[in-house]
Structures are given as C-alpha cells and as structure tokens.
Structure 1
C-alpha cells in the first residue's frame, strides 16, 4: 500500500505541476495556478500520515516506510527548484519569457552554483534522516528498524557525496579555456 501511495504522490506531483502551469500560462490565471501548485505539499502530508498509521497498526518497518521518508525529504529539498526549473522553461517556450538561465561553467560562479545544489540535497537528506529517526523512535526498541537504519546510511552517503562535489568545485575550480570570451564568469544561477 505504501509503495502505491508513493507512486500516486509522484503522479499527483506532476499532475498538479501540469495543471498549475496550464492555469498560469494557457488560461492566464497566475494566482489560480500558484494556488494549485501550493496544494502539492498536501500529498506529502497524506503520505506521512498513512505511513505513520501503517506503523501504528503494527506493520513491520521495512524499505517501503524508509522510501516514504526519503520521498518526502526529496520533495521538500528538491521540489521547489524542480518547479522553478520547469516553470522557466514553460514560460520561455509557451509564454514568450526569457530563455532559462544556464548554470555557470567556470570559476567561483560555478562553485557557488554547486553549493546551492548541495544545499538543496542537504535539505532533502537531512529531512529524510529526521523522518527516518522519528520512525525508529516511533517503532521503539522492540521493532526491527534495520531497514530504516539502512535508509539513513544511504542518506548520509548522499549528503557526503554532494558536499564532496561542491567542495571539489571550490578547491579545484574549473577554468575557462584561454581566450574564451563566451564563458566569461557572470552572476551565479540560483
């Protein structure tokens, strides 16, 4: 049941995103489109409540409960930037908006961009870690929480990986090729 609900939440995310953008650009109702997009977090609340009820009703915690926590974390950490990314492309393609800003390729601007990306992944990972720990405490010492702990290890790995990537762009900045005036460092994309 939990996996089905996660799939339905993911489908719901994209349906709400499409509906919100359609209202915003096709129907020329930006406020209504924003209201539809603001309904998206309700999907995560439903998933969180159903997962907690499932555990409360005696379900053994397993990978599905961990996946629900990770999904909620990723939506919190990456959902807003995903919506902004898609919105910029839809605005450009269908509403005459400016072309989407591409991330910088070189130097300090690229490092700043990578730290912003790492921050989003950190929010996702830390949120998932917190939800997983809450589930461990909720189940208590008598339950088998090994699958939840395994998800926590994965989130710590993901967190570390993103910090290493961002750090590498800081310590070893990529330099523009000599004579390349096309890639002059500009303001970092956010």
Structure 2
C-alpha cells in the first residue's frame, strides 16, 4: 500500500506541477495556478499520514516505510527549488519572461553551487532521519525496526558520498576551456 501511495504521490506531484504551470502561463490565471502549486505539499502530508496510519495499524516496519521517509525528505529539501526552477522555465517559454539563469559551470562558483545543493541533500537526509527515528520510537522496542535503521544509514551514506563529490569540485575545480587564438592576416580566429 505504501509503495503504491509513493508512486501516486510522485505522479500527482508532476501532474499538479504541470497543471499549475499550465493554468498560470497558458490560461493566464496566476492565482489559480499558484493555488494548484500550493496543493503539492498536501500530497506529501497525505503520504506522511498514510505511513503513520499503516504503522499504527500494526504493519511491520519495512523498506517501504523507509522509502517513504526518504521521499518525504527529498521533497522537503528539493521540491521548492524544483518548482521555482520549472516556474522560471515556464515563464520564459510560455510567457516571454527572461531566460532563467544557468548554474556556473567552472571554478569556485561551480563548487559553491554544488555545495548549496549538497546542503539541500543534508536537509533532506535530516528530515528523513527524524521521520525514521520517530517511526522507530513509535514502533517501540517490541517491533522489528531493522529496516528503518537500514534506511537511516542509507540517508547518511548518500549524503556522505554526495559530500565527497562536492569536495572534489572544491579540490579539483573544473577550468574553463582556454580559447586557442591564432593570428591569420588581420583577423583573429578563435578555436575551441
């Protein structure tokens, strides 16, 4: 049941997002579009309530409960940024707005950008860890909480691996390609 609900929430997320942006920019009803976009967190609340109810009804904590916590953590951390990013692209494509800014591709600026994204992953993992710990406390000492503990370690390891990748951007920043410039007559040719 929980896995099905996770899939429904994910599909619902994208449907509400597409509908909200379409209403906002195609139908030019900004308030109605914003209302649809504000319904996205309701899906996450429904998943949280359903997971808690499933555990309350005596379900054995399993990987699906851990996955639900990770999904909720990811959505809390990355959902608002993803919605803003897609809103900027929709405004540009559908309403003639300015083109959205692109993330930096090289050097320290890229490392800072990746570090900010990693901090969102830390937030998502923290939310998932808190939800999983609350589930462990809720189930108590009598229940089998091994799957929940496993997903706590999954969240910690994912953030750790991602942190190492971000650290590589800091230690070994990607350099902008140097333009190969040659003089030919009175013109300068630039090759990439």
TM-score by length of 1: 0.90
Q: Is 1:25 the counterpart of 2:25 in the alignment?
A: yes
SS at match of 1:31: helix
Alignment deviations for residues 66-88 of structure 1 (CA, whole Å, 9 cap, x no partner) = 11111111110111121122222
Aligned partners of 2:87, 2:138: CA distance in 1, in Å? 38
Aligned partners of 2:177, 2:45: CA distance in 1, in Å? 48
TM-score by length of 2: 0.89
Match of 2:133 in 1: 133
**Larger gyration radius, structure 1 or structure 2:** 2
Match of 1:35 in 2: 35
Q: Give the alignment's Cα RMSD to 1 decimal.
A: 1.3
Aligned partners of 2:122, 2:34: CA distance in 1, in Å? 26
Match of 2:187 in 1: none
Q: Is there any run of 5+ residues in structure 1 with no aligned partner, and where? A: 181-190
- The structure showing larger relative contact order (alpha-carbon pairs under 8 Å, at least 6 residues apart) is 1
Aligned partners of 1:87, 1:2: CA distance in 2, in Å? 30
Aligned partners of 1:122, 1:30: CA distance in 2, in Å? 33
Q: How far is the alpha carbon of 1:148 from its aligned partner? A: 0.8
Q: How far is the alpha carbon of 1:100 from its aligned partner? A: 2.4
Aligned partners of 2:141, 2:95: CA distance in 1, in Å? 55
Q: How far is the alpha carbon of 1:171 from its aligned partner? A: 2.0
SS at match of 2:25: helix
Match of 1:148 in 2: 148
Which consecutive segments of 4 or more residues in structure 1 shift more than 6 A? none
SS at match of 2:141: coil
